Structure 1
Amino acid sequence: MIGKSTGSTRPHLRRYGVLAVSVTSRIIRRVIDGRDEAGPARRDGRADRWRTHRLARRAEFVDAAFRALDKHGPHAGMADIAREAGVAKPRLYRHFADKAELHAAVSERAVALVRARLAPALAEPAPFAVMVRRGVRAYVRVLGEHPHVFRFVCDGGAPSVSTVAAMLTEALTSLGVGSPGSRAWAHGIVGAVQATGTWWLDQREDISEDKIVDYLSTLLGGALEAVARAEGITIGENEPLRQGDRHAHRQAR
């Protein structure tokens, strides 16, 4: 027989009920607040290790993307990259939301590779024309080593251009170019050099590395000199330049 409640629940059952509600509430608050019994230091340590692990795995997948692109060409798919990494394709999507995000990561790595090659090429002081030629040769050699990677990067559009253009804007600033036009000039110059470089990848049987270095050095050197002239800056033909130093001379207007 079921009787109606008269509020005569036994006291010890009421205490257990209150205790259960209290414990449950605390657990819910911890989940909402992101707290656990391990404490902040232990939790932060775990988070840091997990973040480091994810970054390492992401870097490994970018390495695999380079290998897949080198092997299968610029249209290598996520399945090709997953196979090269030795994982199932869904595993890639735990680290990259889609191919566009992977493209951004590959572009970032490609730009870092170009930057790493440019640094030693431009470290030793030399006349302007020599510095330009060194930088161009370093760039062309990276293109030649990973042609499909750079086709893939360029097919994706602007991010890589913007990153390299930012580097060139810094270089223009080091020459004394401080006008708002420096960013426009940098994007135009980088776009022209990148387009010519990727065009050359399909012309290597007819145009040697030395020849494309000649052509690109003329293009880049002439563009930089024109920008400098527009700003009233003279670049000494034989005066040694150092990366990041201001060794150009501003003309009196």
Structure 2
Amino acid sequence: MPPDVKDQPPADGRSTRWDDHREQRRAELVTAAVAAIDRHGPEASIADIAAEAAVSRPVLYRYFDDKAELHAAVGQWGATLVLDRLMPVLLTDEPIRARVEAGVAAYLSVLEEHPQVFLLLVRHQVTGSDPLADGKAGIASTIARVLGDTLRELGVDAAGAEPWAHGLVGLGLSTGEWWVERQTMSRNAVARYLSEFVWHAFEGIAAEYGVPLSDLDRPTSVPSDITKGRAR
């Protein structure tokens, strides 16, 4: 396959323009990688991804040093998609239990749409690397900020926000992997049980601090960057 002329660096040294082009092309190649993994499963090869993107393997390696870096970019794509679905339903005027249920449903919808991508990411296909490392950290950080802001608004200790957020991320990943692999339960049933678990955790925390749950049934004030649903 002849080299893709779009993928040649600029001859006149306009590095900023080339950087913008490079980021755009990387995003296009990540989208192609997701499509290839959806089609071929977690074992999708670099050749499969290059074919999906209609480029040669050397062109693909111009943008990603190796398969691990490409998988990490897919992991970041997945984390951003989760936050794009999750944060709008959490930051509404609905009662807290309804927001929990909507958030769980939004998360599971991503897994249902891209089960093969999720399996690749949680199985850590490339030895010695975790393609979800940055994504998990970004999601946990965002959830921790939302929890922390809520707790501070209620006038209670917010120190637990970070470990609770990481616990929620771990719970979601473990339950999601079980569900995608086993498929022994409908999405609605999984959503109900997972929502109940998270809700009763919040209910217990509220009781521990002596905060009426009605005080939680109001929208949370958070920085605008969180509402955009981006893993940071």
What is the count of residue pairs matched by the alignment? 200
- Paired AA for residue 242 in structure 1: P
In the superposition, the TM-score normalised over structure 1's length comes to: 0.72
Match of 1:136 among 104, 122, 126: 104
1:207 matched residue in structure 2: 185
Return closer, same or farther for 1:182/1:124 CA change in 2, 3 Å cut-off: closer
Return closer, same or farther for 1:179/1:240 CA change in 2, 3 Å cut-off: closer
Return closer, same or farther for 1:137/1:89 CA change in 2, 3 Å cut-off: same
Q: Is the 8 A contact 2:111 2:118 kept in 1?
A: yes
CA distance in 2 between counterparts of 1:207 and 1:96 reads 38
**1:115 and 2:90 aligned:** no
Quote the RMSD (CA, aligned, Å): 2.1
Identical counterparts, % of pairs: 40
Q: Is the 8 A contact 1:126 1:241 kept in 2?
A: yes
1:219 matched residue in structure 2: 197
Alpha-carbon distance, 1:235 to partner: 5.0
Q: Is the 8 A contact 1:74 1:151 kept in 2?
A: yes
In the superposition, the TM-score normalised over structure 2's length comes to: 0.78
CA distance in 2 between counterparts of 1:160 and 1:121 reads 20
Q: Which sections of structure 1, spanning at least 5 residues, go unmatched?
A: 1-41, 246-253
Q: Is the 8 A contact 1:176 1:233 kept in 2?
A: no
1:163 matched residue in structure 2: 138
CA distance in 2 between counterparts of 1:120 and 1:106 reads 22
Q: Is the 8 A contact 2:119 2:177 kept in 1?
A: yes
Q: Is the 8 A contact 1:127 1:238 kept in 2?
A: no
2:172 matched residue in structure 1: 193
- Paired AA for residue 201 in structure 1: V
CA distance in 2 between counterparts of 1:140 and 1:54 reads 32
Which one scores higher on RCO, CA 8 angstroms, separation ≥ 6?
A: 2
2:66 matched residue in structure 1: 98
Return closer, same or farther for 1:227/1:93 CA change in 2, 3 Å cut-off: farther
| Greater C-alpha Rg | 1
